[in-house]
Amino acid sequence: MINENYEQRPFRRGHRGSFGFAAVLILVGISILLVNTGIIPTEYRPLLTAWPIWLIIAGLITACNRHWGSSIVLFVVGIFFMMPFLAPIRPDLGIPSNFVQLYWPVLMIFAGLIIVVERLFHKRIFCHGVCRRRYTSTTTNEDGYIYIDSAFDSKKSIFLDPVFKGGKIESSFGEVILDLRKTTLAEGDIRLDVEVSFGSATIIVPDTWNVKVVGDAVFGTFNDQRLTHNYFPDEPRKLTIAGKVAFGECQVKD
């Protein structure tokens, strides 16, 4: 069993949080006032009610609280999703209508750069205020089951138990590689659930296994890249790999 937990010390809650929220209220109020008085053109009003504005506001609050890493993440993601709302207002900028669908890999590159920066400086500088204000990266292997939770981390696991009975993989701004070629599949309907957001997951299975791959992807990919696609519903041993991907990638290989 491998279990690694990294926790940040509790944040000191002083007056910074209150002043930060107050500063955001003032900025939003000023922006609305400038639009209402015509100083800012009224066509920009939809930007103030678009849902990505809440990510940018959250970035302002975290910046006021000096959580710079989280602030940068929120700003970048908020501005990225704000582009489609800006496109009809400023057609001269040449923002394509399918901006998100076209450029979503940029967020994957951004997530990768975050991991590189953390590795270079050996600090969890981008985790403050994220994941319930703690950094957690765990791999738990117990009685044939495996549970992997990777956040802002890269994890490779080779499953060595005699029998694989299922489990779950979660990857957020991280990378997970699970190798199942050293074990055997238990009898029955075995299930491995995968959830990826702004990250990647790769599952390697033996080419003799009876495997069904079912996945949904939003601005990402869920690929079955096995050379041998074996699945026979009547077989006593069956593995279903099911999951969801948002802004990331999941691959099943043999």
pTM (2 d.p.): 0.54
How far, in Å, CA of 129 to CA of 196, rounded?
Answer: 20
In this model, does residue 203 exceed pLDDT 60? yes
- In the chain the first and final C-alpha atoms are separated, in Å, by 25
- Tokens representing 56? 């940018």
Lowest mean pLDDT among 82-86, 159-163, 238-242: 82-86
Cα 96 versus chain centre, distance: 24
Transcribe 4-64 into DSSP letters. Answer: -EE-PPPPP--HHHHHHHHHHHHHHHHHHHHHHTTSS-GGGHHHHHSTHHHHHHHHHHHHH
Between 10 and 17, where is the model more confident? 17
* Domain residue extents for the chain: 6-121, 137-253
In this model, does residue 1 exceed pLDDT 60? no
The sign of the CA dihedral 182, 159, 169, 152 is negative
How far, in Å, CA of 219 to CA of 103, rounded?
Answer: 9
Give the gyration radius of the chain's Cα atoms.
22
Give the residue carrying structure tokens 């779950």.
Answer: 168
The residues with which 217 forms a beta bridge, in sequence order, are 245
In this model, does residue 7 exceed pLDDT 60? no
Residues of the chain above pLDDT 70, percent = 75
Of 197, 108, 201, nearest to 157 by C-alpha is: 201
HSE (CB half, 13 Å, CA atoms) of 159? 29
How far, in Å, CA of 245 to CA of 6, rounded?
Answer: 25
Tens digits of residue pLDDT in 132-189 = 434 456 777 778 899 998 876 678 889 999 999 999 998 876 788 999 999 999 999 9
Between 148 and 35, where is the model more confident? 148
In this model, does residue 17 exceed pLDDT 90? no
Predicted local distance difference test score (pLDDT) of residue 193: 94
